[in-house]
Structure 1
Amino acid sequence: MTVVHTVPDLVALQQRAADRAAARAGGADRLRGHIVCDGLVRIFKTDGVEVVALQGLDLVVDRGELLAIVGASGSGKSTMLNILSGLDVPTAGIARVAGYDLLTMSAKKRLRYRRHTVGFVWQQTTRNLLSYLTAAENVALPMRLAGRRGRAARRRSAELLDLVGVGHCADRRPAAMSGGEQQRCAVAVAVANDPEVLFADEPTGELDENTAAEVFAALRTINAELGVTVVVVTHDQAVATQVRRTVAIRDGRTASEVRRSARLGADGVEELVTEEYAVLDRTGRMQLPAAFVDALALRDRVRLTLEPDHVQVFPGFAGERKEEP
């Protein structure tokens, strides 16, 4: 499915992010595979019962990309985010971020990874900031824990707050800020130690539409100006449509992708083209979109026909008598 829109400033921001990311990496030849999941499995055991949260998930994220992850509750997206941020350990498979192997990482290396390589923004605003510190002090705290103190830390704190549009909140404690201001401060805190990757779990989930737009604008600014790879888990369709790539997770696997790219229209004006793809894993499995399954009442099995340039999918009982239950 392809949809064409007039191009906003999205394309320019994407190019700026890619340029900044290439500079951080030391060259454009290192833009591939900043985050890699291959056959990722996570099994939780509770009272002898096993729950498979991830069932062989595959995902590759480019350096400098701004990616949205969507999916219903229980699909596994938050589990994946916790693994990639170093808060949880996978059961099996491959999970690599910025060259770190998250399956075999030691506790000491995992702590350093969380302090220096990745940043994280929670949905709940109260989890992101310490209530007894000002915004500037909250941003400076990760730097102090990493051994950076004094004037340089204060200067970077002020620069980051200005970058996300809340420089006026520098001397305010969280209780004196709105929810949107708190979340933008949280973004500044998350990138205080100049991480390579920023993860955000439903960062706009508790905000109204206009405030959510301001928070997402802060994430886009961080991505474009600092070249930080940004992965956002969200239910917010307004957020999901403002990124180059949206990945949908269903039943613990990547199910589909929406990609957006620019091209010249017939009138010579640049347009943003939106295309949706099903994801094919290494064994040839894919998930048909739920809307397609419902529209054709597909159940149990389907028939496939190989054509020269495509594959046709038919209901399993098309042209034959369906047995009564």
Structure 2
Amino acid sequence: MTLVENAPDLASLQRRAAERAAARAGGSDRLRGHIVCDGLVRIFTTEGVEVVALQGLDLVVDRGELLAIVGASGSGKSTVLNILSGLDVPTAGIARVAGYDLLTMSAKKRLAYRRHTVGFVWQQTGRNLLPYLSAQENVELPMRLAGRRGRAVRQRAAHLLEMVGVGYCAQRRPGQMSGGEQQRCAIAVAVANDPEVLFADEPTGELDEATAGEVFAALRSINAELGVTIVVVTHDPQVASQVRRTVAIRDGRTASEVRRSARVGADGVEEMVTEEYAVLDRAGRMQLPSAFVDALALRDRVRLTLEPDHVQVRSGDDEEDK
């Protein structure tokens, strides 16, 4: 259990996000399961060779939550994001976002889903912004494509740029902004049409630590002020202190979770505590952390012993097996 710095600020943002999410949903009884993956499978076939990217992944994200998905290269984290954002179609399983079934969605409905229900931020800034438009015009563009016109469009664009901390860049083109400013502008573009969910794929992958912190602050602000559910895929180890829940994916399955919550300490001061969990799927399977496996030299099989309040895991290669 670890105390996270700036806990009261993060706890306050969490409460505000939950309140805004409840308002968007029309009541707190509808907060559960804004995003649901159950037994999600994705198999790619290239030149007759099948590659299994997801092997029965399970994931539930509450409405208004700010979640980070982490994992090594090839773990399947980007595949999950592409499926949930409507850019890819799963092979099998269940994938639902905001009531949409992503396996059975028609092409027309998928286009509407990507235009109105979800927003997306790419790692490469060049994929997020049109270089010949100003920041203000880039944010206005999704609204104009959706048929909105007039002063309200300009006002919302200006408000979103201020919310992510780059209001001063309104009349600048992307080439006149830093990488961090471009990514914060991209976040404003992604939520221009007031989506229910925002997906971000490595949004700080090309930024230094200080600038990455500014981008995550913008994401937290959007989450808290608009109640938008946010899922971020990242390899940044600093993300653990930036979000309320981190899910680790390994070999195409959810392996562990880190959760942060506000608690009142013995001295009466509110603090943010961090706890790590292994993930148990519906079949009762879980992945032991690789550090544990290596430390105890666990191989092939293990012995399980049920105790009154825990399960003991021991190496199966003891003297009785020899």
Normalising by structure 1, we get a TM-score of: 0.97
Cα distance in 2 for residues equivalent to 1:225 and 1:290:
38
Q: Deviations over 1:254-287 (max 9, x none)?
A: 0000111121222222221211111001111100
Q: Deviations over 1:114-170 (max 9, x none)?
A: 000000000011110011111111111111111112211111111111111111111
| 1:142 paired residue number | 142
**Letter of the structure 1 residue corresponding to residue 263 of structure 2:** R
Contact 1:234 1:240 in 2 (8 A): no
- Structure 1's unaligned 5+ residue stretches are none
**Letter of the structure 2 residue corresponding to residue 205 of structure 1:** G
Cα distance in 1 for residues equivalent to 2:117 and 2:276:
31
**Letter of the structure 1 residue corresponding to residue 184 of structure 2:** R
Q: Deviations over 1:39-65 (max 9, x none)?
A: 000000000000000000000000000
Q: Deviations over 1:85-119 (max 9, x none)?
A: 00000000000000000000000000000000000
| 1:297 paired residue number | 297
Cα distance in 2 for residues equivalent to 1:5 and 1:99:
34
Cα distance in 1 for residues equivalent to 2:210 and 2:183:
13
| 2:251 paired residue number | 251
Cα distance in 2 for residues equivalent to 1:243 and 1:319:
46
Cα distance in 1 for residues equivalent to 2:272 and 2:180:
29
Cα distance in 2 for residues equivalent to 1:238 and 1:223:
19
| 1:272 paired residue number | 272
**Letter of the structure 2 residue corresponding to residue 45 of structure 1:** T
| 1:4 paired residue number | 3
Contact 2:69 2:249 in 1 (8 A): yes
Contact 2:84 2:102 in 1 (8 A): yes
**Letter of the structure 2 residue corresponding to residue 136 of structure 1:** Q
Superposed counterparts of 1:1-40, under 5 Å: 2-5=1-4, 7-40=7-40
| 2:123 paired residue number | 123
Q: Deviations over 1:210-247 (max 9, x none)?
A: 11111110000000000000001111122232211110
| 1:52 paired residue number | 52
Q: CA deviation at 1:308?
A: 1.3
Contact 2:216 2:242 in 1 (8 A): no
The runs of 4+ residues in structure 1 deviating greater than 2 Å are 2-8, 318-322
Q: CA deviation at 1:173?
A: 0.7
Where 2:319 maps in the other structure, the secondary structure is coil
User: In 2 relative to 1, CA 5–168 (structure 1 residues): closer, same or farther, beyond 3 Å?
Assistant: closer
Contact 2:4 2:241 in 1 (8 A): no
Is 1:114–2:107 an aligned residue pair? Answer: no
Cα distance in 2 for residues equivalent to 1:172 and 1:37:
40
Q: CA deviation at 1:3?
A: 2.5
Normalising by structure 2, we get a TM-score of: 0.98
Q: CA deviation at 1:5?
A: 4.0
**Letter of the structure 1 residue corresponding to residue 54 of structure 2:** L
Where 1:13 maps in the other structure, the secondary structure is helix
Q: Deviations over 1:183-217 (max 9, x none)?
A: 00000000000000000001001001111111110
Contact 2:33 2:62 in 1 (8 A): yes
**Letter of the structure 2 residue corresponding to residue 172 of structure 1:** R
Contact 2:72 2:250 in 1 (8 A): yes
Cα distance in 1 for residues equivalent to 2:127 and 2:49:
30
Cα distance in 2 for residues equivalent to 1:273 and 1:82:
31
RMSD, aligned CA? 1.0
Aligned length: 321
Cα distance in 2 for residues equivalent to 1:224 and 1:318:
53
Where 1:165 maps in the other structure, the secondary structure is coil
- Structure 2's unaligned 5+ residue stretches are none
Contact 1:66 1:230 in 2 (8 A): yes
Superposed counterparts of 1:24-103, under 5 Å: 24-103=24-103
Cα distance in 2 for residues equivalent to 1:262 and 1:8:
8
**Letter of the structure 2 residue corresponding to residue 319 of structure 1:** E
Cα distance in 2 for residues equivalent to 1:127 and 1:296:
46
Cα distance in 1 for residues equivalent to 2:73 and 2:291:
18
| 1:241 paired residue number | 241
Q: Percent identity?
A: 85
Q: CA deviation at 1:321?
A: 6.0
